[in-house]
Amino acid sequence: MNVAEEAVEIKNRLGLHLRAATTLAQAAAKFKSTVTLIRGKDQANARSVTSLIMLGAGKGTRLHLRAEGDDAEAAMAELSDLFKNGFGEE
From the candidates 11, 17, 19, 64, which is the catalytic residue? Answer: 17
Cα(1)–Cα(39) distance, rounded to whole angstroms? 24
* Cβ-Cβ contacts under 8 Å for 46 (sequence gap 6 or more): 24, 25, 28, 35, 36, 37, 52, 65, 79
Give the single-character DSSP code of 69.
S
- Is 64 annotated in the active site? no
Task: Give the catalytic positions in this structure.
Answer: 17
